[in-house]
Amino acid sequence: MNSSQKPVKGRPKYIVLTGGVGGAKLCQGLARVLEPSQLLFVVNTGDDFTHLGLHISPDVDSLMYALAGLSSRERGWGRDDETWNCLETLKKLGGESWFRLGDRDLALHLKRTADLAAGKTLTQSIASIKKGLRVKNRIVPMSNDPVRTKIDTDEGMLSFQEYFVSRQCQPKVNRVVYQGTWDARMASSVHTFLQSAELRGTIICPSNPVLSIDPILEVEGMRDWLRFPHTPRVAVSPIIGGEAVKGPTAKIFKELGKEVNAIGVAKHYGTLLDGFIYDRRDHYLETRFKGMPLPARSTDTLMQTDADKEALARNVLQFIDDISLENVFGKLEPYDA
Amino acid sequence: MNSSQKPVKGRPKYIVLTGGVGGAKLCQGLARVLEPSQLLFVVNTGDDFTHLGLHISPDVDSLMYALAGLSSRERGWGRDDETWNCLETLKKLGGESWFRLGDRDLALHLKRTADLAAGKTLTQSIASIKKGLRVKNRIVPMSNDPVRTKIDTDEGMLSFQEYFVSRQCQPKVNRVVYQGTWDARMASSVHTFLQSAELRGTIICPSNPVLSIDPILEVEGMRDWLRFPHTPRVAVSPIIGGEAVKGPTAKIFKELGKEVNAIGVAKHYGTLLDGFIYDRRDHYLETRFKGMPLPARSTDTLMQTDADKEALARNVLQFIDDISLENVFGKLEPYDA
């Protein structure tokens, strides 16, 4: 997905925290304007689960398919060139068919499951699979250790997939728990990347803060590192005009008693941020953002075309540059791109 | 696959030992002339193996597909209505693709693997899968315990699939070993069926005697039971004119120092048989069969059409009836159907 145009060249490196489909769009934009060596995508694996004996990593797969240019636009998940013969047959045989496994997608899960059974780490398996998909960007799981996001709802404790797919986000969320984070270590490639002299900033993608980004932050060492960074940390709001572009972010924010808008997202991340980007449609929030100690910018964050993705990526990178300069030359004024 | 014509009705029951595709054809014929309650198909599971984390039972599947009318005539294995999108993608991802897994076939393996992981026996899983395939006949594995056929060759000890698929039966066979048979018990439904008062006979299908039938005979209790039966035991030769209809039977017979013809097959089973059926093309063996203490008949055993399968099934059943009568009225004359 790297375009031939690469205006931002050379050194600076960025670590990018991302979850599912929304985050993957910004990653695509970043991959279009930066060299693969400049980016490390750290992906949520709290939604990983075992289904029919297969290890499934939904967010990693969404990102790989997006970067390979294989994502289905119509469906919003999975591959574009998909067939469903296995799933249809499985249904006839009385097998579990609630999770929509395409024939081609299945190959990826079989490969990963075989890799893990052979003793490879998730990082190694992803590296091998993305090579097959001709993706050149570096993609690492937030941890090679298992973390499982559980949703404490009015129907009891549900796994992410039970909540998201089987129950279609209908139960009321009381609390979200990230099982395994205490024992989960950052993938070693994240450590190495964080220590590189060229690191220019951290980007938090417009993914669900509670379900996709928080699990990453909970991995041992990650939040600590983000608390004392040498470089700016910038997040993009996944909520536009009081609604999430996709998924249950708005509903969950409401149920958790958070303000359902970009302010709520900025407050959720709190002091972990040096900059915040919200949508130009939410310009009415400008005064409130001006009253906060966090530099914020509004721009077009709704990524429908590749050009949209690329434009948002450039805005995020520019914002990081501006914050870096501010650290040298003094306070930064909010601005509207 | 049961035809509307069912001339052999009612009581008598038959236990049928079978392996892969060749055996499945006679089973189809039997299923066309008998009621489901009259038949118990006991299937070789020595070729079962785990591939990409999936439990694969090649012989059970061949029989289920045959009885469901789904077998591919062109390929000689697998389903007719098959697609290969998962396998093609797996290949691109660098996954193991030597075993030809079709998209629809895959569903069956996923279902079985999930069933076994959930604590079901292989018998229970087969019962559930064949229901989905609308197969009414009773199909049981020779054992719910694992038995693995290993081939001791001039290239070392190979698993059945390594020998059969990866090495395409090329290595010279010194010996065949059935790992696990000492601990493997007959499926309980076989026990029950063997004790039924209506049992009229045992049929050994034209499967590879060494690779498909012997593993069944090695399961604890099976050979002992066959040694002292109350009812006739009849086998059909898988070798016609010095060659196997399909597969490596002739080559293996030669390498094990056995005579590569119907006589060699009859001698292989030895005193376990009360009757033997060989192909009319091997009529030249008649004199030699007359010199043996085993009643033998020649008929058309090459099953190309459903009518062929049905005709052979009727011949086998008639032969069993004749042997039963002989037990009452005296010696049976060899005859040419």
pLDDT in tens, A130-176: 999 999 999 999 999 999 999 999 999 999 988 988 889 999 999 99
Q: What is the pLDDT of residue B331?
A: 54
Q: Give A101 to chain B, closest Cα distance, Å.
A: 11
Angle formed by the axes of helices A58-67 and A21-33, to 10°?
40
Give the pLDDT band (50/70/90) at residue B227: confident
Place of tokens 């049929």: B203
Q: What is the pLDDT of residue A330?
A: 57
Instruction: Determine the Cα–Cα distance for residues A203 and B132; give it in Å rounded to an integer.
Output: 49
Residue A244 token pair? 């999430």
DSSP states of B319-335: HHHHHHHHHHH-PPPP-
Angle formed by the axes of helices A85-92 and B103-117, to 10°?
50
Q: Residue A224's CB: how many other CB atoms inside 10 A?
A: 9
Q: Taking the alpha carbons of A227, A232, A238, A239 in that order, is the dihedral positive or negative?
A: positive
Q: What is the pLDDT of residue A222?
A: 87
Q: What is the pLDDT of residue A336?
A: 47
Distances (CA, A) of B168 to B23, B163, B251: 20, 6, 12
Lowest-confidence pick of A228-232, B8-12, B56-60: B8-12
Q: What is the pLDDT of residue A7?
A: 44
Q: What is the pLDDT of residue A242?
A: 78
Q: What is the pLDDT of residue B145?
A: 94
Residue B237 token pair? 């030769």
Q: What is the pLDDT of residue B263?
A: 96
Among A205, A195, A204, A267, CA closest to A230: A195
Residue B239's DSSP bridge partners are: B244
Residues A77-82: what's their mean pLDDT? Answer: 91
In chain A, what residues touch B114 (CB-CB under 8 Å)?
A: 52-53, 95-96
Among A110, A104, A66, CA closest to B88: A104
Give the pLDDT band (50/70/90) at residue B125: very high
The beta strands (E) that lie in A143-274 are given as: 148-153, 156-159, 173-179, 199-204, 233-236, 239-240, 243-244
Distances (CA, A) of A246 to A75, A214, A303, B14: 12, 18, 12, 60
Residues A80-88: what's their mean pLDDT? Answer: 96
**Percentage of residues in chain A having pLDDT higher than 70:** 94
pLDDT above 80 for B10: no
pLDDT above 90 for B151: yes
B215 Cβ contact list (under 8 Å, min separation 6): B44, B45, B46, B142, B147, B149, B178, B181
Q: What is the pLDDT of residue B8?
A: 42
Give the pLDDT band (50/70/90) at residue B2: very low
Closest-CA residue of chain B to A102 = B86
3-state secondary structure B179-225: ECCCCCEECHHHHHHHCCCCEEEEEECCCCHHHHHHHHHHCECHHHH
Q: Taking the alpha carbons of B211, B212, B213, B215 in that order, is the dihedral positive or negative?
A: positive
**Percentage of residues in chain B having pLDDT higher than 90:** 76
Instruction: Determine the Cα–Cα distance for residues B111 and B215; give it in Å rounded to an integer.
Output: 25
- Phi, psi dihedral angles at B199 (to 5 degrees): -60, 125
B331 Cβ contact list (under 8 Å, min separation 6): none
Express each pLDDT in B81-104 by its tens digit.
Answer: 999 999 999 999 999 988 899 999
Residue B199's DSSP bridge partners are: B13
Determine whether the interchain pair B107/A95 forms a contact, defined as Cβ–Cβ distance below 8 Å.
yes
Lowest-confidence pick of A52-61, B106-115, B146-155, B235-244: B235-244
Express each pLDDT in A262-285 by its tens digit.
Answer: 999 999 999 999 999 999 999 999
A contact test, residue of B51, B86, B100 with most A CBs within 10 A:
B86
Instruction: Determine the Cα–Cα distance for residues B250 and B100; give it in Å rounded to an integer.
Output: 24
Q: Please give the distance of CA B19 from its chain centroid, rounded to a whole number.
A: 2
Q: What is the pLDDT of residue B337?
A: 45
State the pairing for strand pair A13-18/A199-204. Answer: parallel
Closest-CA residue of chain A to B84 = A103
DSSP states of B218-284: HSBTHHHHHHS-SS-EEEE-SEETTEESSSSHHHHHHHTT--SSHHHHHHHHGGG-SEEEEEGGGGG
Q: What is the pLDDT of residue B330?
A: 57
Place of tokens 């799933």: A87
A159 Cβ contact list (under 8 Å, min separation 6): A49, A148, A149, A150, A151
Determine whether the interchain pair B113/A85 forms a contact, defined as Cβ–Cβ distance below 8 Å.
no
Express each pLDDT in A26-48 by its tens digit.
Answer: 999 999 999 999 999 999 999 99
Express each pLDDT in A193-218 by its tens digit.
Answer: 988 889 999 999 999 999 999 999 99
Lowest-confidence pick of A55-64, A227-236, B27-36, B309-318: A227-236
Determine whether the interchain pair B103/A108 forms a contact, defined as Cβ–Cβ distance below 8 Å.
no
Determine whether the interchain pair B89/A108 forms a contact, defined as Cβ–Cβ distance below 8 Å.
yes
Side-chain-facing half-sphere of A125: CA atoms under 13 Å: 25
A269 Cβ contact list (under 8 Å, min separation 6): A204, A209, A213, A235, A276
Residues B237-249: what's their mean pLDDT? Answer: 85
pLDDT above 60 for B6: no
Q: What is the pLDDT of residue A196?
A: 87
Q: Residue A329's CB: how many other CB atoms inside 10 A?
A: 9
Express each pLDDT in B265-278 by its tens digit.
Answer: 999 999 999 999 99
pLDDT above 70 for A328: no
Express each pLDDT in B191-206 by its tens digit.
Answer: 889 888 899 999 999 9
Q: What is the pLDDT of residue A43?
A: 98
Give the pLDDT band (50/70/90) at residue B7: very low
Residue A131 token pair? 């090579």
Residues B143-172: what's their mean pLDDT? Answer: 93
Residues B225-247: what's their mean pLDDT? Answer: 86
Q: What is the rounded (10 degree) CA torsion for A268, A274, A277, A278? A: 40
Residues B37-55: what's their mean pLDDT? Answer: 96
Q: What is the pLDDT of residue B165?
A: 86
pTM of the predicted model as reported, rounded to 2 decimal places: 0.87
Among B71, B60, B145, CA closest to B109: B60
Among A117, A135, A115, CA closest to A125: A115
B322 Cβ contact list (under 8 Å, min separation 6): B332
Closest-CA residue of chain B to A108 = B90
Q: What is the pLDDT of residue A3?
A: 42
Left, alpha or beta for B209 (phi > 0: left; psi -120 to 50: alpha)?
Answer: alpha
Q: Give B65 to chain A, closest Cα distance, Å.
A: 13
**How many residues in chain B?**
337
Contact of B89 with chain A, judged by CB distance below 8 Å, is answered with yes
- In 3-state terms chain B splits into helix, strand, coil percentages (rounded to 5) of 40, 20, 35
Contact of A257 with chain B, judged by CB distance below 8 Å, is answered with no
In chain A, what residues touch B83 (CB-CB under 8 Å)?
A: 83, 85, 103
Radius of gyration of chain B (CA): 19
B292 Cβ contact list (under 8 Å, min separation 6): B263, B266
pLDDT above 60 for A101: yes
pLDDT above 50 for B3: no
Determine whether the interchain pair B104/A113 forms a contact, defined as Cβ–Cβ distance below 8 Å.
no
Express each pLDDT in B254-302 by its tens digit.
Answer: 999 999 999 999 999 999 999 999 999 999 999 999 999 999 999 999 9
Q: What is the DSSP letter of A220?
A: B
For residue B83, give the amino acid letter: T
Q: What is the pLDDT of residue B122?
A: 97
Average pLDDT, chain A: 91
For residue A295, give the amino acid letter: P
In chain B, what residues touch A106 (CB-CB under 8 Å)?
A: 86, 89, 103, 106
A contact test, residue of B85, B96, B109, B134 with most A CBs within 10 A:
B85
Q: What is the pLDDT of residue A8?
A: 41
Give the pLDDT band (50/70/90) at residue B75: confident
Of A89, A107, A128, the CB nearest to B107: A89
User: Are the CB atoms for A293 and A274 separated by under 8 Å?
Assistant: no
Average pLDDT, chain B: 91
Q: What is the pLDDT of residue A332?
A: 52
Q: Give A27 to chain B, closest Cα distance, Å.
A: 22
Contact of B68 with chain A, judged by CB distance below 8 Å, is answered with no
The B residues from 106 to 135 touching A (CB cutoff 8 Å) are 106-108, 110-111, 113-114, 117, 128-129, 131-133
- Phi, psi dihedral angles at A298 (to 5 degrees): -110, 140
Q: What is the pLDDT of residue B182?
A: 84
Determine whether the interchain pair B52/A86 forms a contact, defined as Cβ–Cβ distance below 8 Å.
no
3-state secondary structure of A117: helix
